[in-house]
Amino acid sequence: AAPLASAQKVEEFNYDEAKVGTYTLPDPLTSKDGKAVKTKSAWTSRRAELMELFAANVYGHTPKQPIKLRFQTTAVNESALNGLAVRKMVSIFFVDYPQIPSIDVALYLPKNKKLVPIFLGLNFSGNHSATTETDVPITTRWVYNAIGDVSVNNKATEKSRGMQVSSWQIETVLKRGYGLATVYYGDIEPDHPQGWQGHIRSVLDSPSETVPSASNNWGAIGAWAWGLSRIMDYLQTEPDIDPKRVVLIGHSRLGKAALWAGAQDDRFAAVISNESGEGGAALSRRWYGETVERINTSFPHWFNAQFKTYNKRVADLPIDQHELLALIAPRPLYVASAEEDRWSDPKGEFLGAAHTEPVYKLFGKTGLGTDTFPAVNQPIGQTVRYHIRTGKHDVTAYDWEQYLKFADELVGK
Ligand code: GTR
């Protein structure tokens, strides 16, 4: 569940399908100069063009400079989860920037297995929230002040231990032969407008982007996505992980970050967007649920400054979110919604996924393979999959069951 629901307080949103209106989506297979993209090699240039459009207009440019990392194992439990797993706690340090806090990974691997596939996902409330195991330390980093006493003065309390176990399903994942790595997203950047200070965006900028207020600078979503790639750098050094079978998963704002990370870094074998909504899988041009203006107002630090210029003119965006999803092609992609999560616009997420079809086709693959919105709890699709389950904005056991099946079939065991 999201720690913050302030966006729901505003008025200017629509939940009436009859009022959505009409819109014209940009075609992923027509390049800026108007040429039709018909081959895989033409897609390579179009893809680069789209990457630049998303960087310039939505997420900001991710700095490309290499960064020296140091991986330090801080704890190993050879018999975690009642003997089911080996759990390693590993901190990623930035050698040239000792002032930047480490990214602390909780890595679970099935015991006595070699070259395992693994899920990687950022978490909302600290690694200790994903498990009830008492030897996982409570995060000491800034967290949202939540309702109840799970956090006090922006510090997590013991009460938050295990608070999100149902969203992680670690034992089920491990029993199915997968590893799981999770990281508190606030390690990379705390989720508030000043969160960049003292974190990676305060030291790394794209050459042309020197201050966080520069119009095309990167935002917090860009930073979280960058962090996912650094975690990937580490996972690639773990001998028991198959580096070619790392499946990226993200929920909500972290689903937006997962999609942007998956678009930029093709080492991620597959990407799962769980209810990522506006700025994630949902079409921006569809007036339903959260809007570009709303998200930019509630979360001014998530996207770049240029994105804010589209608040009142979404039709002028040179891209829409189906093209972000298409950047994952030809890799497997899962887009999931929930019936009561209207804020994320389930139909807009479905359409985002459906409109990737021509790009998957270019690779000889079937994406969703249908334009028909499915009934609840009826997963559909091939290389691109979609479901809308009953219930609220959350990651549930039902969602994980579909993701495991998807990974079994498309990423391999
Ligand atoms: C909401 C926000 C959404 C989504 C969600 C979450 O407040 O409006 O875009 O990111 O938070 O992350 O749970």
152 lines ligand 1 (CB under 6 A): no
How far is the centre of ligand 1, averaged over its atoms, from the C-alpha of 178 (Å)?
Answer: 28
For 143, the token pair is 């967290």
Backbone phi and psi for residue 122, each to the nearest 5 degrees, phi listed first: -75, 150
Cite the DSSP H helix spans in 75-159.
80-83
For residue 202, what is the DSSP state? G
Local confidence pLDDT in tens for the 413 residues of the chain: 344 444 444 457 899 999 999 999 999 999 999 999 999 999 999 999 999 999 999 999 999 888 999 999 999 999 999 999 999 999 999 999 999 999 999 999 999 999 999 999 999 999 999 999 999 999 999 999 987 889 999 999 999 999 999 999 999 999 999 999 999 999 999 999 999 999 999 888 755 544 555 555 899 999 999 999 999 999 999 999 999 999 999 999 999 999 999 999 999 999 999 999 999 999 999 999 999 999 999 999 999 999 999 999 999 999 999 999 999 999 999 999 999 999 999 999 999 999 999 999 999 999 999 999 999 999 999 999 999 999 999 999 999 999 999 999 999 86
324: its two tokens: 């972000």
DSSP bridge pairs for 182: 106, 121
Per the DSSP assignment, residues forming a β-bridge with 73 are 90
The CB density around residue 339, as the number of other CB atoms within 10 Å, is 13
**β 384-389/380-381 pair status:** antiparallel
Calculate the alpha carbon distances from 107 to 5, 137, 142, 240 in Å: 30, 13, 22, 11
Please report, as a single letter, which amino acid is at residue 401.
E
- Our measurement of the distance from residue 393's CA atom to the centroid of its chain's CA atoms, rounded to an integer in Å, reads 15
Residue the block writes with tokens 């009409």:
22
5 Cα to the center of ligand 1, angstroms: 7
Answer whether 275 contacts ligand 1 (Cβ < 6 A).
no
Q: Is the CB of 257 under 6 A from ligand 1?
A: no
Residue 254 CA, ligand 1 centroid: distance in Å? 9
CB 196 within 8 Å of CB 157: no
Residues annotated as part of the active site = 252, 393
CA of 185 to the centre of ligand 1 (A): 14
* Look-up of token digits 């203006």: 293
**10 CB within 6 A, ligand 1:** no
The 3-state DSSP class for residue 358 equals helix
Residue nearest to atom 8 of ligand 1 (CA): 7
Is the Cα torsion angle 91, 92, 98, 101 positive or negative in sign?
negative
The token duo for 287 is 């007036």
Distance of alpha carbon 76 from alpha carbon 68, whole angstroms: 24
Query: Whose Cα sits closest to atom 10 in ligand 1?
Result: 253
Q: Which amino acid is at 83?
A: G
Rounded to 5 degrees, φ, ψ at 220 are -60, -35
User: Of 25, 15, 48, 104, which is closest to residue 289 (Cα–Cα)?
Assistant: 15
- Atom number of ligand 1 nearest to Cα 124: 12
- From the CB of 252, is ligand 1 less than 6 Å away? yes
Ramachandran bin of 129, using left for φ above 0, alpha for ψ from -120 to 50, beta for the remaining angles? alpha
User: Which atom of ligand 1 approaches the CA of 295 most closely?
Assistant: 8
The atom of ligand 1 lying closest to the CA of 254 is: 12
* Residue 192 CA, ligand 1 centroid: distance in Å: 13
Please indicate whether residue 289, judged by its CB atom, sits closer than 6 Å to ligand 1: no
Could you tell me if the ipTM is greater than 0.95?
yes
Q: How far apart are CA 183 and CA 172, in angstroms?
A: 19
**pTM (two decimals):** 0.96
Q: What confidence tens digit (pLDDT) does each residue in 358-379 have?
A: 999 999 999 999 999 999 999 9
| Ligand 1 contact, 186 CB (< 6 A) | no
In the reported structure, the alpha carbon of residue 408 is separated from the centroid of ligand 1 by a whole-number distance in angstroms of 29
**pLDDT the model gives residue 11:** 53
Which of 144, 290, 345 has most ligand 1 atoms within 8 Å of CB, for mutation?
290
Question: Is residue 147 exposed (0-12), middle (13-18) or buried (19+ Cβ within 10 Å)?
Answer: exposed
What are the distances in angstroms from CA 262 to CA 224, 246, 259, 273, 324?
Answer: 12, 11, 5, 10, 9
Tens digit of each residue's pLDDT (9 = 90 or more) over 76-128: 999 999 999 999 999 999 999 999 999 999 999 999 999 999 999 999 999 99
On the 0-12 / 13-18 / 19+ scale of CB atoms within 10 A, 42 is middle
How far apart are alpha carbons 351 and 346 in whole angstroms? 9
